[in-house]
Structures are given as structure tokens and as C-alpha cells.
Structure 1
Amino acid sequence: MSDKENSTDPDAVQALFGDFVPGQQDSTTNPMMRAKEVMKTPLPKRFYKAVSIAADEEGGHRVLLDGRPIRSPAKHQVSVPCEAIARALASEWDAQTDKINPATMPLTRLVNSTIDGVEDAREAMLDEIVSYLNHDFICYPATHPERLVDRQQALWQPVLKWVEEPLCGRFVQANGIMAVEQSPVMGQALRAEWQGLDIFQLAALHTMMTITGSVLLPYAFWKGFLTSDATWAAAMVDEDWNIEMWGEDEEATKRRVFRRADFDAAILVLDALRG
């Protein structure tokens, strides 16, 4: 049995979570693949008995393991802006049994990546979010078969119609592989709305965007037009169709469960910070 497997050192845990932090791995590697790589290494033992939360002097909330605050892979003390997020974080840590498995801790991974990377990357993230408007997948509906076209229209068209007013423009839909240039006015409107978000909100919305392949669906959820389940259903319409046609693939199902856990962690953060 290796030293790492026997480890009770919190640094071993931080190092393991580092594999999930943006900027510390190849950007072309998706979270499911990173989870697989992490699972190839022995997981650290649970080194703590009690999990609790406490308010800090800046008005945030921290998770404590045997009275010691958890730290991010970059060794920042983890502080979140509201008690609801702290309690959900604490639940993830408390749910670990004899080993600590980052793959089962989506909220912890999201919070770590937020604290370690989002503030410095804010402008780049906003640039990426705005650029998504030109290749948002709900602007590229299928042309056949008819039942899939109808299903996409039922789930996507209400969002595209509703978003015209808050983003001050009309989205153009197209078929095929050529990208459509949307009006820059809509990107400016979106950036103006999200420019002032705190790092946790911005990270959660960016996570939803990368999982769904759409910025309009997270925007509709953030504005209260869609529920979380409706957002997920609209994002998964093509995938659901393929499952109905060809059946489930075991690996694809595992990836979907992993993505849904990350999606739900982002939803939790946004719901906790509403208002």
C-alpha cells in the first residue's frame, strides 16, 4: 500500500483536487476524463472526524474539518458567501467514508475552481461567454427527422422568443456547420448584465454554459424564465433523442450522471445567491 494511500495529510487531498481546477490540466480534457485519471491513483484516507461550518470575519462561511478550515488546491482558505452553500459543502465532506473521492464532490470542485481562478480570469470568461452567442447550439436546430425538429422547437423556441427583449435583439437560427454572426448588441447587453456578478455566480453560469453548450439556457434560468429541470431538458434534447433511437450506452450514461452532478452544483450556487 503506497504512502499516498495511507496519507492523512490535507495536502494530499488538495493535490488531488488540483486535477479538477481549470488551468491545472489540459483544457481539452473534460471533467469526466479528469475524474478517470484521478481514479487511477490511490485516494487519500479520510483524515478528519468532525465536519462543521463557521462564519468568518469577512462575512463569509467556512467548512471546518476537526476545527481546521478547508483549503483549495492553491492553498487559499475556502470561504463561501452564504450559509446554504457552506452547508452543502460540509455535506459533501461529511459524506466521504474511508477515502476522499473528488469525483463525488461536484460542489467542492466548483468552489475550488472559483476561488483559485475566476477573479483573475473574469474578463476572459466574459469574453468566452459572449462569444458563445455566435455558436449557441439552440440556434442550430435539426432539419430532420420531423419529431426531433418538433421537440427542439417546443423546448428552444420559447427561449429564443423570450430572450429578444432582455438582450435587445433577435437571434438568427441556421442549419448546417457554418456559424451565424449574431448582433453584437446582444453580446454587449449580456456582458453588461453579468459584468458585476460575484465570482461564484459567474463560475456557476460558466459551468452551466460549458455543460449545456448554450449560454442562452443558463441565462434563461438565471433570469427565472426556465426551471433547472427545464434547462436540463432543453440542453439534453438531442441526447435524449439518440437514447430513444439507439438505446443507452454505459459510458455515455456515466458521463451524463457526472455532468448532471456538476450542473446541479452550479444550480445550487445560483439558487443560494438569488436576490
Structure 2
Amino acid sequence: MGEGMNDQDKKSPMGSEKPNLPKRFYKDVSVADEGGRAAILLDGRPVRTPGKAPLAVPSAALAEAIADEWRAQGKEIDPQTMPLTKLANSAIDGVVGKEGPVIDDILAHAGSDLLCYRASGPEGLLALQAEHWDPVLAWAAGALAAPLSLAEGVMHVAQPDASIAALRGEIEGLDAFRLAALHVMTTLTGSALLPLAVVRHQLTPEEAWAAAHVDEDWQIGQWGEDAEATVRRENRKRDFNAAARLLELS
């Protein structure tokens, strides 16, 4: 036992019965130094990722936050309540030693960044997009030397090679854990700039999340909220917040 938990085989379609969850098999959760990393221990034995690597992270603060997820489990272990564990597993198994492809995927999002695609109307939506997105684009153009071009609608607009190269230089300085967090936030928002603004403390996670959902919130304001969409958004926000917390604790 002592395996890290992923949620890929524990999810069930909306509306189906709750899946069977593994029983809690441990009493004590602790953190120990393991070769300069902080490892999570269950009854003195190291937790391992799904890839069988030790679940060891860069900082004691992050390790304690992950340990708290394990401590909070009841009679069963529910991976849905352990987003930091899930993200740390992903960093160790999926990013360490594979940083290049992860960076490439983030930059692919930058090449079609949400902030660059503006609606043709109505005026209220255009104003909200400008309010939330223009300051981030201006910051990227200045602080990161990465100006991006805008387009109306969904027609693709090519971004300057020099800007993408500048963003690559910014991202390549991140370790595997912060890179994993950035990748999750980028995927969830459709923007590379918003998570980078969080990394550089230009936006709070809440501000970045709100900016990523300007269009969606506008539609909700016009047509109302869908219950299933609300649940999906809450799950995505949980993962986004976990990624932002990992950035903070790393």
C-alpha cells in the first residue's frame, strides 16, 4: 500500500452511483526530509506516485499541505478531495524529465491565447474583455517583452516568433512542480498569460480565474446558469486553486 492516488479511475459519469473507494489503510501521516526533498509518509512508509516514485516535493510547506489531504480522509480515500496530491503525482510522473514537451504545450496555448480573441459584440461584453484582458496583455508586452496580436472572433492570428520565444525563456526557468501547476492553469483557462501573471504576482488566482471566465459569466448573466455546467466549473476551479496553491507553497 502507500500508493499516491490519481482520480482517473475513480471518476464516475454525472448522475451515476458513487464509485467504490479504497479503504483508509493508515493511521499516521508525517513529513520527512529525503535527500533534500520533503516526503510524505504513511505510518512511517513513503507514499508513492502511480508511477512508483516517492511522493517527495520541493518544500516542507507543500508537503504538509499534501499530508493534510491524507490526514483529512475518513474511512475511505477519496482522490477528488486530494487535488494537491494529484498535481504532485502529475509533476513527478509526467513532468520531471519531460519538461520540453510540457513547455511546448503551454506555448501552443500562448499561440492562441484566450486574451487575444475578442468578441464582435455586444458592447458590454467588449468592455469586460478589455477591462480584464488589456492590462495583462500590456504587462506581457512590457515586462515579458512578449506583445501579442489581437483578432476578432475565432479566426486564428499568428503571434510574433519573438514574443513566443520570450515566453519560452520565462517558462524555462520554472522547476517541474511549478511547470506542472502552470500547465494545469493554462489548460483550464485557455490562456498562458493569465497563469504567468499569477506566477509573477501580477494577478491573484481569483483575478486570473475571473478573467478567464469573462465570456462564460456574460452568457450566464444573459441566459442563466446550467446546473451541470456549474458542477463542472466548480471541479475545474478546485484544480485551478490547487495549482495556484502549489505555486505559492513551492
**TM-score of the superposed pair, with normalisation by structure 1:** 0.85
Q: Which moved more, 1:119-128 or 1:107-116?
A: 119-128
SS at match of 1:157: helix
Aligned-pair RMSD on alpha carbons?
A: 1.9
Within 1, Cα distance between the matches of 2:140 and 2:17?
Answer: 41
Equivalent AA in structure 2 for residue 46 of structure 1: R
1:161-176 equivalences in 2 (<5 Å)? 161-176=138-153
TM-score (structure 2 length as normaliser): 0.93
2:27 counterpart (38, 41, 49):
49
1:81 aligns with 2:58: yes
Against the structure 1 CA distance between its residues 171 and 203, is the aligned structure 2 distance closer, same or farther, given a 3 Å change threshold? same
Deviates more, 1:193-202 or 1:80-89: 193-202
Amino acid at match of 1:267: A
Q: Deviations over 1:131-169 (max 9, x none)?
A: 222210110011212111111110001111111123324
- Give the conservation status (yes or no) of the 8 Å contact 2:113–2:192: yes
C-alpha contact 2:11 2:19 (8 A) present in aligned 1? no
Indicate the residue corresponding to 2:233 in structure 1: 256
Deviation at 1:269, TM superposition (A): 1.3
Q: Distance in 2 between matches of 1:263 and 1:233?
A: 12
Give how far 1:39 is off.
7.4
CA apart distance, 1:196: 2.8
| Structure 1 residue 36: Cα displacement | 2.6
Aligned residues: 248
The answer to whether the 8 A contact 1:18-1:73 is kept is no
Q: How does 1:103-182 map to 2 (within 5 A)?
A: 103-182=80-159
Please, which moves more after superposition, 143-152 or 209-218?
143-152
Alpha-carbon distance between aligned partners in 2 of 1:140 and 1:39, rounded to the nearest angstrom = 40
Query: Per-residue deviation at 1:41?
Result: 3.8
1:97 CA displacement:
0.7
Does the CA-based 8 Å contact 2:146-2:167 persist in structure 1?
A: no
Aligned with 1:91: secondary structure? Answer: helix
Provide the C-alpha distance between the structure 1 equivalents of 2:106 and 2:17, rounded to a whole number of angstroms: 31
Question: What amino acid does structure 2 have at the position aligned with 1:85?
Answer: L
Query: Aligned equivalents of 1:169 and 1:67: distance in 2?
Result: 48
Structure 1: stretches of 5+ with no match in the other structure: 1-8, 21-33
1:184 is matched with which residue? Answer: 161
Q: CA deviation at 1:177?
A: 2.1
* Matching residue's letter, 2:87: L
Where does residue 11 of structure 2 map in the other structure?
A: 35
Secondary structure, in 3 states, of the residue corresponding to 2:233? helix
Determine helix, strand or coil for the equivalent of 1:64. strand
Quote how far apart the aligned CAs of 1:78 are: 0.6
Gaps of 5+ in 2: none
